[in-house]
Amino acid sequence: MTKFALVTGGSRGIGRAVCVTLAEMGYNILVNYQSNEEEANKTLALVKEKGVSGEILKFDVSKSEEVIAVLEGWMQTNKDKDIEILVNNAGIRKDNLMMWMSDTEWHSVMDIAVDGFFYVTRQVIKNMLIKKYGRVINIVSLSGLKGLPGQTNYSASKAAVIGATKALAQEVGRRGITVNAVAPGFIKTDMTQDLNEKDFKSLIPMNRFGETQEVADVVGWLASSKSSYVTGQVISVNGGLYS
């Protein structure tokens, strides 16, 4: 069987770094994206430079019917291929103080992070259970551990996925599947480009924002056989800001 890793929200930022890191480990990569096909193709090109194959898969993780149609379709036409690694990375920020937060700002963030985790993982984990092997890695956030003002929606969504990570790990551990979460702090990505590093780095013991590769390296370790007895954990990558 040919081994694949599926990375949701894989077109840019942390998702792109994770795709390339898993490709370096020898995994063929499925790059999920929702809208930016150009960036998804750039990620795919970087993946193929590592000597593996890959595909881009367009679907909205928050839409159950899209997830089922695309992933079930891929599995049916690729029965000689296994998705061994799932990285649930798709997420958005819609920051606002709660008293001014709109229904849309609340639901769009919750739908992608929480519903997206549920729909994609439910689809992929069935085959992992049959094969008695798999790695599920959820990208959460410092915000989901300590809460951040202006991010009640984002904090709630990431905290929900942390709870789900710990529960699912207990359901599937006997079948050789590990489920863990990685909680980045302030990382240099499109999602943090509106934040001034100078304003925040004094709060961080390491006195800087993190790099996407520093997150991807932890994901890579969790995806490897070296982490075989680690499950149900949340690993913070935050420069010591909150541990």
CATH number for 80: 3.40.50.720
pLDDT at 1: 77
Whether the predicted pLDDT of 243 surpasses 70? no
**pLDDT tier at 230 (50, 70, 90 boundaries)?**
very high
Exactly one of 133, 154, 229, 242 is catalytic; which is it? Answer: 154
Whether the predicted pLDDT of 131 surpasses 80? yes
For the residues 162-167, what does the mean pLDDT come to?
98
Please tell me the pTM assigned to this model: 0.96
pLDDT at 196: 74
| E strand residue ranges, 44-144 | 54-58, 81-88, 134-139
Provide the number of structural domains found in the chain: 1
**pLDDT tier at 202 (50, 70, 90 boundaries)?**
confident
**Residue 243 falls inside a structural domain:** no
Is 119 labeled as catalytic in the residue annotation? no
Beta strands 134-139 and 81-88, pairing class: parallel
Q: Which residues pair with 88 in a beta bridge?
A: 138
**Residue 156 falls inside a structural domain:** yes
Beta strands 134-139 and 234-237, pairing class: unpaired
For the residues 66-84, what does the mean pLDDT come to?
96
**Residue 242 falls inside a structural domain:** no
**pLDDT tier at 77 (50, 70, 90 boundaries)?**
very high
Range of the domain at 161: 2-237
pLDDT at 201: 83
Q: Which residues pair with 137 in a beta bridge?
A: 87, 180
Whether the predicted pLDDT of 197 surpasses 80? no
Mean pLDDT of the chain: 95
* Range name among 44-58, 119-133, 185-199 with the lowest pLDDT average: 185-199
pLDDT at 162: 98
